[in-house]
Structure 1
Amino acid sequence: MSKPLDETLSKELSERIKSKAKDPFNNAYKAALLTEGCMYVQGFLVGDGKPYRPIEHSWIELETCIVDPTLPHLNKNAEQFFYFPAQHLTVKKLVAAVEEAKEDYPDDEPLPVYDALPHEYYGNLIMGSKKYSEAYKEAEAKCRELNKPKKETDSTS
Protein backbone atom coordinates (compact mmCIF):
# COMPACT_ATOMS: atom_id res chain seq x y z
CA MET A 1 0.00 0.00 0.00
CA SER A 2 1.26 3.42 -0.93
CA LYS A 3 1.85 6.06 1.70
CA PRO A 4 -0.63 8.95 1.85
CA LEU A 5 0.18 12.21 0.09
CA ASP A 6 0.74 15.19 2.41
CA GLU A 7 -0.86 17.96 0.38
CA THR A 8 0.03 20.75 2.82
CA LEU A 9 3.72 19.85 3.03
CA SER A 10 3.82 19.34 -0.74
CA LYS A 11 2.55 22.90 -1.30
CA GLU A 12 4.89 24.37 1.34
CA LEU A 13 7.95 22.69 -0.18
CA SER A 14 6.83 23.69 -3.67
CA GLU A 15 6.86 27.33 -2.61
CA ARG A 16 10.19 27.04 -0.78
CA ILE A 17 12.00 25.59 -3.79
CA LYS A 18 10.04 27.63 -6.37
CA SER A 19 9.07 24.45 -8.19
CA LYS A 20 8.47 24.42 -11.92
CA ALA A 21 5.47 22.84 -13.65
CA LYS A 22 7.15 20.33 -15.93
CA ASP A 23 10.25 19.53 -13.89
CA PRO A 24 9.31 16.89 -11.29
CA PHE A 25 12.81 15.39 -11.10
CA ASN A 26 14.53 18.68 -10.29
CA ASN A 27 11.68 19.68 -7.99
CA ALA A 28 12.06 16.46 -6.01
CA TYR A 29 15.86 16.83 -6.02
CA LYS A 30 15.66 20.34 -4.56
CA ALA A 31 13.05 19.22 -2.02
CA ALA A 32 15.20 16.26 -0.98
CA LEU A 33 18.16 18.56 -0.30
CA LEU A 34 15.97 20.58 2.10
CA THR A 35 14.19 17.71 3.84
CA GLU A 36 15.95 15.77 6.56
CA GLY A 37 15.34 12.03 6.66
CA CYS A 38 13.65 11.75 3.27
CA MET A 39 14.11 9.44 0.31
CA TYR A 40 14.11 10.68 -3.28
CA VAL A 41 11.74 8.52 -5.33
CA GLN A 42 11.34 8.02 -9.06
CA GLY A 43 8.42 6.15 -10.50
CA PHE A 44 5.05 6.83 -12.06
CA LEU A 45 2.12 9.09 -11.37
CA VAL A 46 -1.42 8.14 -12.39
CA GLY A 47 -4.55 10.25 -12.28
CA ASP A 48 -8.10 10.14 -13.53
CA GLY A 49 -8.43 11.61 -17.01
CA LYS A 50 -5.85 12.95 -19.44
CA PRO A 51 -3.22 11.92 -20.36
CA TYR A 52 -4.78 8.45 -19.86
CA ARG A 53 -1.37 6.88 -19.22
CA PRO A 54 1.21 6.74 -16.43
CA ILE A 55 3.64 9.65 -16.29
CA GLU A 56 7.25 9.17 -15.24
CA HIS A 57 7.52 11.34 -12.14
CA SER A 58 9.55 12.00 -9.00
CA TRP A 59 8.73 12.92 -5.40
CA ILE A 60 10.13 12.46 -1.92
CA GLU A 61 8.99 10.16 0.83
CA LEU A 62 9.17 10.61 4.56
CA GLU A 63 8.57 7.78 6.99
CA THR A 64 4.82 8.37 7.01
CA CYS A 65 3.95 10.16 3.77
CA ILE A 66 4.63 11.19 0.19
CA VAL A 67 5.57 14.80 -0.49
CA ASP A 68 5.24 15.95 -4.11
CA PRO A 69 6.64 19.44 -4.73
CA THR A 70 5.18 19.39 -8.26
CA LEU A 71 1.63 18.88 -6.93
CA PRO A 72 0.48 22.53 -7.17
CA HIS A 73 1.21 22.47 -10.92
CA LEU A 74 -0.81 19.32 -11.63
CA ASN A 75 -4.20 21.08 -11.58
CA LYS A 76 -6.15 18.26 -9.92
CA ASN A 77 -7.15 17.38 -6.39
CA ALA A 78 -4.50 15.46 -4.49
CA GLU A 79 -6.96 12.59 -3.92
CA GLN A 80 -7.00 11.96 -7.68
CA PHE A 81 -3.35 10.85 -7.83
CA PHE A 82 -1.70 7.50 -7.27
CA TYR A 83 2.06 7.05 -6.93
CA PHE A 84 3.97 3.97 -8.06
CA PRO A 85 7.60 3.97 -6.86
CA ALA A 86 10.28 2.31 -8.99
CA GLN A 87 13.46 3.54 -7.31
CA HIS A 88 14.35 5.00 -3.91
CA LEU A 89 17.59 6.91 -3.30
CA THR A 90 18.98 8.39 -0.13
CA VAL A 91 19.97 12.04 -0.46
CA LYS A 92 23.63 11.03 -0.24
CA LYS A 93 23.29 8.55 -3.14
CA LEU A 94 21.19 11.03 -5.11
CA VAL A 95 23.78 13.80 -4.82
CA ALA A 96 26.58 11.38 -5.77
CA ALA A 97 24.63 10.14 -8.82
CA VAL A 98 23.88 13.69 -9.99
CA GLU A 99 27.51 14.78 -9.56
CA GLU A 100 28.72 11.71 -11.46
CA ALA A 101 26.23 12.31 -14.28
CA LYS A 102 27.30 15.95 -14.57
CA GLU A 103 30.94 14.88 -14.82
CA ASP A 104 30.40 11.96 -17.21
CA TYR A 105 27.71 13.57 -19.40
CA PRO A 106 28.08 17.36 -19.09
CA ASP A 107 25.74 18.07 -22.02
CA ASP A 108 22.87 15.96 -20.65
CA GLU A 109 20.44 16.54 -17.79
CA PRO A 110 21.61 14.57 -14.72
CA LEU A 111 18.04 13.65 -13.74
CA PRO A 112 16.29 11.26 -13.71
CA VAL A 113 18.78 8.79 -12.20
CA TYR A 114 18.55 5.20 -13.37
CA ASP A 115 20.00 2.02 -11.89
CA ALA A 116 23.47 0.82 -12.76
CA LEU A 117 24.10 -0.57 -16.22
CA PRO A 118 22.96 -2.53 -18.04
CA HIS A 119 19.68 -0.69 -18.45
CA GLU A 120 16.67 -2.57 -19.66
CA TYR A 121 14.81 -0.67 -22.36
CA TYR A 122 11.01 -0.69 -22.45
CA GLY A 123 10.00 0.56 -25.87
CA ASN A 124 10.18 4.33 -25.92
CA LEU A 125 8.83 4.56 -22.36
CA ILE A 126 11.77 4.53 -20.00
CA MET A 127 15.14 3.10 -19.19
CA GLY A 128 15.61 1.46 -15.84
CA SER A 129 15.67 -1.78 -13.97
CA LYS A 130 13.05 -4.50 -13.73
CA LYS A 131 11.54 -2.48 -10.85
CA TYR A 132 10.70 0.23 -13.38
CA SER A 133 8.92 -2.26 -15.60
CA GLU A 134 6.94 -3.64 -12.65
CA ALA A 135 6.01 -0.17 -11.39
CA TYR A 136 4.93 0.84 -14.88
CA LYS A 137 2.72 -2.23 -15.27
CA GLU A 138 1.03 -1.53 -11.91
CA ALA A 139 0.55 2.13 -12.86
CA GLU A 140 -0.83 1.17 -16.26
CA ALA A 141 -3.38 -1.18 -14.64
CA LYS A 142 -4.50 1.58 -12.25
CA CYS A 143 -4.78 3.98 -15.17
CA ARG A 144 -7.07 1.55 -17.02
CA GLU A 145 -9.15 1.11 -13.85
CA LEU A 146 -9.55 4.86 -13.37
CA ASN A 147 -10.33 5.57 -16.98
CA LYS A 148 -12.85 2.85 -17.82
CA PRO A 149 -15.43 3.98 -20.36
CA LYS A 150 -18.55 5.29 -18.65
CA LYS A 151 -21.64 3.19 -19.29
CA GLU A 152 -24.55 5.08 -20.76
CA THR A 153 -27.80 4.83 -18.82
CA ASP A 154 -30.93 3.77 -20.63
CA SER A 155 -33.05 6.91 -21.00
CA THR A 156 -36.01 5.23 -22.74
CA SER A 157 -37.51 3.80 -19.54
Structure 2
Amino acid sequence: MNKPLNEALSLEIAQRVKSKAKTPFDNAYRAALATEGAIYVQGFLVFAGKPYKPIEHGWMELEDCIVDPTLAYLNKNAQQLCYFTAQRFTVKELKAIIEESKEDYPEDDPLPIYGDPPYEYYGNVMLGAKDYLEAYQAAEAKCRELNQKNADKN
Protein backbone atom coordinates (compact mmCIF):
# COMPACT_ATOMS: atom_id res chain seq x y z
CA MET A 1 0.00 0.00 0.00
CA ASN A 2 1.32 3.39 -0.94
CA LYS A 3 1.96 5.91 1.78
CA PRO A 4 0.08 9.20 1.53
CA LEU A 5 1.78 12.26 0.10
CA ASN A 6 2.37 14.93 2.74
CA GLU A 7 1.79 18.09 0.74
CA ALA A 8 2.64 20.62 3.47
CA LEU A 9 5.89 18.87 4.42
CA SER A 10 6.81 18.46 0.73
CA LEU A 11 6.52 22.21 0.20
CA GLU A 12 8.35 23.02 3.45
CA ILE A 13 11.29 20.72 2.67
CA ALA A 14 11.40 21.93 -0.94
CA GLN A 15 11.88 25.45 0.34
CA ARG A 16 14.49 24.34 2.87
CA VAL A 17 16.63 22.51 0.27
CA LYS A 18 15.96 25.12 -2.43
CA SER A 19 14.48 22.59 -4.85
CA LYS A 20 14.41 23.37 -8.55
CA ALA A 21 12.03 22.48 -11.37
CA LYS A 22 12.93 19.49 -13.54
CA THR A 23 15.50 18.08 -11.07
CA PRO A 24 13.46 15.56 -9.04
CA PHE A 25 16.40 13.25 -8.32
CA ASP A 26 18.66 16.03 -7.08
CA ASN A 27 15.79 17.52 -5.07
CA ALA A 28 15.05 14.15 -3.45
CA TYR A 29 18.75 13.56 -2.78
CA ARG A 30 19.22 16.91 -1.04
CA ALA A 31 15.96 16.47 0.87
CA ALA A 32 16.94 12.98 2.08
CA LEU A 33 20.33 14.24 3.27
CA ALA A 34 18.64 17.07 5.17
CA THR A 35 15.88 15.00 6.79
CA GLU A 36 16.39 12.60 9.66
CA GLY A 37 14.99 9.12 9.02
CA ALA A 38 14.47 9.74 5.30
CA ILE A 39 14.62 7.07 2.60
CA TYR A 40 15.56 8.20 -0.93
CA VAL A 41 13.19 6.71 -3.51
CA GLN A 42 13.26 6.44 -7.29
CA GLY A 43 10.45 5.27 -9.47
CA PHE A 44 7.63 6.67 -11.52
CA LEU A 45 5.02 9.36 -11.09
CA VAL A 46 1.62 9.01 -12.74
CA PHE A 47 -1.32 11.36 -13.12
CA ALA A 48 -4.18 11.81 -15.57
CA GLY A 49 -3.43 13.91 -18.64
CA LYS A 50 -0.28 14.85 -20.51
CA PRO A 51 2.22 13.32 -21.06
CA TYR A 52 -0.11 10.26 -20.84
CA LYS A 53 2.77 8.06 -19.66
CA PRO A 54 4.71 7.44 -16.43
CA ILE A 55 7.40 9.99 -15.59
CA GLU A 56 10.66 8.83 -14.06
CA HIS A 57 10.83 10.62 -10.73
CA GLY A 58 12.56 10.83 -7.36
CA TRP A 59 11.13 11.56 -3.90
CA MET A 60 11.73 10.56 -0.32
CA GLU A 61 9.77 8.64 2.24
CA LEU A 62 9.45 9.02 5.95
CA GLU A 63 7.96 6.36 8.18
CA ASP A 64 4.39 7.48 7.54
CA CYS A 65 4.38 9.47 4.29
CA ILE A 66 5.82 10.38 0.92
CA VAL A 67 7.60 13.73 0.68
CA ASP A 68 8.10 15.12 -2.82
CA PRO A 69 10.39 18.16 -2.88
CA THR A 70 9.48 18.74 -6.55
CA LEU A 71 5.73 18.93 -5.84
CA ALA A 72 5.49 22.71 -6.23
CA TYR A 73 6.71 22.46 -9.83
CA LEU A 74 4.35 19.68 -10.92
CA ASN A 75 1.28 21.96 -11.15
CA LYS A 76 -0.96 19.07 -10.11
CA ASN A 77 -3.33 18.50 -7.24
CA ALA A 78 -1.51 16.29 -4.73
CA GLN A 79 -4.48 13.89 -4.57
CA GLN A 80 -4.12 13.19 -8.30
CA LEU A 81 -0.54 11.91 -8.03
CA CYS A 82 0.35 8.22 -7.88
CA TYR A 83 3.88 7.13 -6.94
CA PHE A 84 5.39 3.78 -8.01
CA THR A 85 8.57 2.76 -6.22
CA ALA A 86 11.40 1.11 -8.15
CA GLN A 87 14.23 1.51 -5.63
CA ARG A 88 14.67 2.71 -2.06
CA PHE A 89 17.95 3.68 -0.37
CA THR A 90 18.86 4.73 3.13
CA VAL A 91 20.91 7.92 3.34
CA LYS A 92 23.98 5.82 4.19
CA GLU A 93 23.49 3.60 1.10
CA LEU A 94 22.78 6.65 -1.05
CA LYS A 95 25.96 8.44 0.02
CA ALA A 96 28.06 5.33 -0.69
CA ILE A 97 26.52 4.85 -4.15
CA ILE A 98 26.98 8.51 -5.08
CA GLU A 99 30.60 8.49 -3.88
CA GLU A 100 31.39 5.33 -5.85
CA SER A 101 29.64 6.68 -8.96
CA LYS A 102 31.63 9.92 -8.82
CA GLU A 103 34.85 7.91 -8.57
CA ASP A 104 34.03 5.39 -11.29
CA TYR A 105 32.20 7.72 -13.69
CA PRO A 106 33.28 11.29 -12.91
CA GLU A 107 31.87 12.67 -16.17
CA ASP A 108 28.35 11.26 -15.56
CA ASP A 109 25.61 12.51 -13.25
CA PRO A 110 25.30 9.91 -10.46
CA LEU A 111 21.51 10.32 -10.29
CA PRO A 112 19.26 8.57 -11.00
CA ILE A 113 20.65 5.25 -9.75
CA TYR A 114 19.83 2.25 -11.91
CA GLY A 115 21.21 -0.60 -9.83
CA ASP A 116 23.26 -3.49 -11.11
CA PRO A 117 23.02 -5.08 -14.55
CA PRO A 118 21.39 -6.88 -16.22
CA TYR A 119 19.16 -4.00 -17.21
CA GLU A 120 15.65 -4.43 -18.54
CA TYR A 121 14.20 -2.73 -21.60
CA TYR A 122 10.81 -1.33 -22.43
CA GLY A 123 10.36 -0.51 -26.07
CA ASN A 124 13.87 0.36 -27.17
CA VAL A 125 14.78 2.31 -24.05
CA MET A 126 17.06 0.81 -21.41
CA LEU A 127 15.74 0.90 -17.91
CA GLY A 128 17.21 -0.12 -14.57
CA ALA A 129 17.18 -3.57 -13.05
CA LYS A 130 14.06 -5.77 -12.89
CA ASP A 131 12.54 -3.72 -10.05
CA TYR A 132 12.54 -0.70 -12.38
CA LEU A 133 10.74 -2.63 -15.11
CA GLU A 134 8.12 -3.91 -12.65
CA ALA A 135 7.50 -0.41 -11.28
CA TYR A 136 7.25 0.97 -14.82
CA GLN A 137 4.73 -1.67 -15.86
CA ALA A 138 2.55 -1.00 -12.78
CA ALA A 139 2.77 2.76 -13.40
CA GLU A 140 1.93 2.30 -17.08
CA ALA A 141 -1.19 0.28 -16.19
CA LYS A 142 -2.32 2.97 -13.71
CA CYS A 143 -1.68 5.66 -16.31
CA ARG A 144 -3.88 3.85 -18.84
CA GLU A 145 -6.60 3.45 -16.21
CA LEU A 146 -6.53 7.15 -15.21
CA ASN A 147 -6.53 8.39 -18.78
CA GLN A 148 -9.30 5.96 -19.79
CA LYS A 149 -11.47 7.32 -16.96
CA ASN A 150 -10.93 10.84 -18.30
CA ALA A 151 -11.69 9.73 -21.87
CA ASP A 152 -14.93 8.13 -20.65
CA LYS A 153 -16.00 11.42 -19.01
CA ASN A 154 -15.70 13.33 -22.31
TM range (shorter): over 0.9
Structure 1: state its 5+ residue gaps. 153-157
Measure how far apart 1:36 and its partner are: 0.7
Where has structure 1 moved over 4 Å in runs of 4 or more? none
Shift of 1:103: 1.0
- Indicate the residue corresponding to 1:155 in structure 2: none
Relative to 1, partners in 2 of residues 1:126 and 1:70: Cα closer, same or farther, differing over 3 Å? farther
The answer on 1:121 being equivalent to 2:96 is no
Backbone CA RMSD of aligned residues:
1.2
Query: Which has the greater radius of gyration?
Result: 1
Equivalent position of 1:150 in the other structure: 152
Equivalent position SS for 1:139: helix
Asked if 1:33 corresponds to 2:33, the answer is: yes
Judging changes above 3 Å, is the alpha-carbon distance between structure 1 residues 125 and 72 closer, same or farther for their aligned structure 2 residues? farther
Structure 1 CA distance for aligned equivalents of residues 73 and 110 of structure 2: 22
**CA distance in structure 1 between the aligned counterparts of 2:22 and 2:3, rounded to whole angstroms:** 23
1:7-156 equivalent positions in 2, closer than 5 A = 7-148=7-148, 149-150=151-152
- Cα gap change, 1:92 to 1:108, in 2 (>3 Å): same
Structure 1 residue 150 displacement after superposition: 2.7
Deviation at 1:38, TM superposition (A): 1.2
Aligned-partner residue type, residue 152 of structure 2: K
Q: TM-score, normalised by structure 1?
A: 0.92
